[in-house]
Structure 1
Amino acid sequence: MSAPTLFDAATFRRATAERDAATLLSFYTDDAELEIVDHEAQPSRPRTLHGHNEISAYLDDVCGRDMTHMVDHFVLDADGAAYSEVCEYPDGTEVRHVAVLDIRDGRIAHQSGVQAWDELTETTTGAAAERKDFARPDEVRTFEHGRVELLNIGGSTIGRYTLEPGWRWSLHVKPIVGTDWCEASHFQYQISGHMHVLMADGTNFEVGPGQVSTLPSGHDAWVIGDEPVISVDWWGATNYAK
């Protein structure tokens, strides 16, 4: 009988600290499930990711953020593990993450994690005032029938989308990110145009000018009519269309 494959906790710690998304992804089974409870996904409705494609997009997002990561406690046995992680943004905002893992043949088959975020940081209590203009964005990403302009301000990234008639996420962004649904969570104000949203659970609705929408991960969307959709997003632009 061959010895069981052990989970490599040391490499997992190192990949977390180095924000190495590819190495972290290799720790998950192809059919892994990842559940997340945070300031956006409540305990009664956790964000759930299925399989390598969705987990890869999530890890790329997290590892692409300007923040530090440190696994400070790790407990491991043959069939499971648990760890705690401390993350910090440049403005001093801390995120604490605790996760429980089900291990199969040395890899993660299921993970349940809870994140807790600072509510008050230097950004809201004493940082220097800032002003930026979308006419001079810090970054612009273009894709077929659309673009997103990004401003880095107050420790956050704000995005302005311009989506032309004919644009649809599943046709024009899905090939870039490789997930079945858009896994970015959005909190956005729509300036112009009309957009139809379809959630993975079948919920669907239209968003128009002057309306605010929150979209959890797992959705498709497309422009309705002949007017471009322009919206400003406070949550989901950081790694959109990357």
Structure 2
Amino acid sequence: MEIDVMAAGETRVKRLVYGVGGRWSEHVKPHVGTAQCMHAHVGFIAQGTLAGEYPDGCAFSFTAPQAVCIQPGHDSWVVGDEPVVMIQFDYEHDTVDRLGMPAEHRH
């Protein structure tokens, strides 16, 4: 995974590049020690297809060009043979609170 970050006031703008075959539970989970990705993702898929699932079985899929809002507590992976490029806006660990999102997935 590649990450470019630029501060914009209290917000951070990120360009995240997920490589072909990338899967959070296989490639990131061992480094962070949580069962799922606990970050909220709010932004835009500029390239590729990103799919994912919450522990309750609720699934999502976003294909460029598409806006995204992914709640904390998910696994995600790259679909197909092109990397996923996501432009994301966040507040580091305060994203959920600052954007008024739930702390975990809800229907």
Q: TM-score range by the shorter chain?
A: 0.7 to 0.9
Of the three residues 54, 65, 68, the one matched with 1:199 is 54
In structure 1, stretches of 5+ residues that fail to align are: 1-145
How far residue 163 of structure 1 moved from its aligned partner, in angstroms, is 0.8
Shift of 1:200: 2.1
Contact 1:165-1:226 within 8 A present in 2 as well: yes
Show the counterpart of 2:22.
167
CA distance in 1, matches of 2:39, 2:85: 17
Query: Percent identical across equivalent pairs?
Result: 32
User: Residue by residue, what CA displacement relative to the aligned partner does 1:56-82 show, whole Å, maximum 9, x if unpaired?
Assistant: xxxxxxxxxxxxxxxxxxxxxxxxxxx
Equivalent pairs, count: 93
1:158 is aligned, of 13, 26, 36, to 13
Structure showing greater Rg = 1
Instruction: Give the match's secondary structure for 1:234.
Output: strand
Structure 1 residue 214, shift from structure 2 partner:
0.8
Counterpart amino acid of 1:164?
A: G
Q: How does the TM-score come out when normalised to structure 2?
A: 0.81
Question: Which deviations, in whole Å up to 9, do the C-alpha atoms of 1:24-50 show, x marking residues without a partner?
Answer: xxxxxxxxxxxxxxxxxxxxxxxxxxx
Supply the distance in 1 between the matched residues of 2:83 and 2:56 (Cα, whole angstroms). Answer: 27
Give the Cα separation in 1 of the matches to 2:30 and 2:11: 26
Choose from 66, 82, 89 the match for 1:211.
66
Amino acid at match of 1:226: D
Aligned-residue Cα RMSD (Å) equals: 1.4
Task: Say whether 1:228 aligns with 2:83.
Answer: yes
5+ long unaligned stretches in structure 2: 94-107
Partner amino acid for 2:87?
Answer: V
Q: Which amino acid aligns with 1:227?
A: E
Q: Which residue identity is paired with 1:150? A: V
- How high is the TM-score relative to the length of structure 1? 0.37
The list of structure 1 runs, each at least 4 consecutive aligned residues, that deviate by more than 3 angstroms after superposition, is none
